[in-house]
Amino acid sequence: MKRAWWKESVVYQIYPRSFKDTTGNGVGDLRGILSELDTLRDLGVDIIWLSPVYESPNDDNGYDIADYRAIMAEFGTMADFDELLDGIHDRGMRLIMDLVANHTSDEHAWFTESRASLDNPKRDYYIWREGRTGPDGQSLPPNNWRSFFSGPAWERDEATGQYYLHLFTRKQPDLNWENPAVRKEIADVVDFWLAKGVDGFRMDVISLISKRGYGDTPHSEFNDTIANVYANGPRVHEFLQEMVRDVISRYDVMTVGEGPGIGLAEGPLYVNEDRGELNMVFHFGHMFMDHGPGGKFDPVDVGLPAFKKVFLDWDRAMAGGGWNSLFLGNHDFPRMVSRYGDDGEHWWASARALCLMLMSMRGTPYVYQGDEIGMTNVAFPSIGDYRDVETLNAWAEEVVEGGREPEDFLRAVHRQGRDNARTPYQWSDAPDAGFTASGRPWIAVNPNFPRVNLAAQRHDPDSIWAFYRRMIAFRKAHP
């Protein structure tokens, strides 16, 4: 096995919007992260991954990028970013950025141009198709694909009458990676940040960039459509190899690709060392396993043997020269202690047990902000308390249009919703958990903050936080 710094590191994911607000706008910011770098260093973090901080209209909290080279004004300025990067490097840590390149915002200048006319030079930057004609002469989408966030994956655009593809929200049009000019644009973006000194990328839904064609999906379960229709298209490896060859290989950096639809058979093709693609992928073996026939808001129970098998299988799958990422949660999934442990009576013990598991497997562990203090799911009483576009779209489709009982849907959201992981970081028992002094956080704080917070744990040798710190140190002492 070849040694590499990213194999001997612990990554900490920050969701900047929910980390720490220093300006009083109710939204976390870059200076908030800067102010806590010593805390992260003290925990033993080597690499910080920032969820997107680029200019964005925030239809999907920054995963809809309007300008890849600008910092979101709510988060700060490019000068703040440069200071943050220096602060991270000064402490011997590294920084990886989130590269969202399957799609842009519909407010990106490329899309504004692309949608303007059929012969615009940027028309082929995105995926445009004629609609189908319905039985009554009405215009229908080109196929039956659904978006990840409810409703059709196609939107008809007034200017030309054609439809554009959006696998996520209608404000996230998919880029056309078949177009070499698009690949060059993305390579230039990658080069821009690497030249600035960032240490790598987490690549959002990288498994989806190469499309297989546009026939109807025959699958009734959405995860089957992801795996068999949307993901692992015929040119994905070629596109990744090109990006690595032309840009990434010129730097000493790490890459981890997010991979819905990447199964045991495909994983090695993305990460085996002789392939020149990615260092790691995030597979969803354990993340999608509780989705029922109706998808994520129709959850089913999963037993421990099935859960353990995912990790065993993936460990074996890497025997040919690949390396695993290890994670039990992120900004898209419920809190790990609530989902895989117990956030009631056995909160403390199960948070520590999951940490032990995470830190003692082969692979690079990723800690999602707040998991190191045992932050839990939240059960807001009303849909009005929720912010996530996935939850709000599913509410509109299932409850408002579909007639599902609101209480039943909310129960599913309490268990599965992405906002579980997006409530503000719980720094202390001060108002709003010390996240913001504004009195109006962008999303409400979990009401358990007087009990679950960093200040209460930082100096307690038996705390969850102290256990993470010990396990990280132990891991590094025994490569």
Q: Give the residue numbers annotated as catalytic, written as ranges.
A: 204, 258
Question: Which CB, 287 or 464, lies closer to ligand ISL?
Answer: 287
Residues 162-181 as x/- pattern, contact with ligand ISL by CB under 6 A: ------x-------------
**Residue 329 binds to ligand ISL (criterion: CB under 6 A):** no
- Per CB under 6 A, the list member of 28, 260, 285, 374 interacting with ligand ISL is 260
Which alpha helices (H) appear in 361-403, and where do they start and end? 389-395
- How long is the chain? 479
With binding defined as CB under 6 A, does residue 153 bind ligand ISL? no
Kindly tell me which residue out of 15, 19, 128, 148 binds ligand ISL, with binding defined by CB under 6 A: 148
Nearest approach in angstroms of CB 477 to ligand ISL is 32
One-letter amino acid of 283: H
Q: Minimum Å distance from CB 87 to ligand ISL? A: 25
Asked if residue 68 binds ligand ISL (CB under 6 A), the reply is: no
CB of 264 to ligand ISL, least distance (A): 18
Half-sphere exposure of 224 (CA within 13 A, CB side): 9
CB of 121 to ligand ISL, least distance (A): 26
Report whether 290 contacts 341 (CB < 8 A). Answer: no
Q: Is 58 or 463 the residue whose CB approaches ligand ISL more closely?
A: 58
Our finding on whether 277 is near ligand ISL (CB under 6 A) is no
Q: For residues 260 and 441, which CB has a smaller minimum distance to ligand ISL in the complex?
A: 260
Among the listed residues 409, 406, 414, 262, the one whose alpha carbon sits nearest the alpha carbon of residue 338: 414
Identify the burial level of 256 via C-beta atoms within 10 angstroms of its C-beta, where 0-12 means exposed, 13-18 middle and 19 or more buried: buried
The verdict on 285 binding ligand ISL (CB under 6 A) reads no
Give dist(CA 475, CA 48) in Å, integer: 18
Among 174, 185, 290, 332, interactor with ligand ISL by CB under 6 A:
332
Q: Which residues contact 132 (CB under 8 A, 6 or more apart)?
A: 139, 140, 141, 142
Beta-strand pair 200-203/94-99: parallel
Binding residues among 286-315 for ligand ISL as defined by CB under 6 A:
296
Closest separation in Å from C-beta 319 to ligand ISL: 26
Q: What are phi and psi of 325, to 5 degrees?
A: -95, 145
What contacts 24+ positions apart, CB below 8 Å, involve 2-8?
A: 2/273, 3/479, 4/254, 4/279, 5/46, 5/254, 6/47, 6/200, 6/254, 6/279, 6/280, 6/364, 7/323, 7/364, 8/46, 8/476, 8/479
Question: Nearest-5° angle of CA 140, CA 141, CA 142?
Answer: 115
Which residues 400-419 are close enough to bind ligand ISL by CB under 6 A? 418
Q: How far is the CB of 140 from ligand ISL (least distance, A)?
A: 25
| Residue 49 or 193 having the CB closest to ligand ISL | 49
Measured CA to CA in angstroms, residue 440 lies from 23, 223, 315, 379, 392 at distances of 12, 37, 44, 19, 20
Q: Which of 65, 97, 127, 205 binds ligand ISL (CB under 6 A)?
A: 205
**Number of residues engaging ligand ISL in binding (CB under 6 A):** 14
Within residues 93-132, the interface with ligand ISL by CB under 6 A covers 100
CB of residue 466 vs ligand ISL: minimum separation in angstroms? 30
Classify 235 as helix, strand or coil: coil
Q: Which of 19, 72, 65, 63 is nearest to 442 (CA)?
A: 19
The residue ranges that bind ligand ISL (CB under 6 A) are 60, 63, 100, 148, 168, 204-205, 258, 260, 296, 331-332, 390, 418
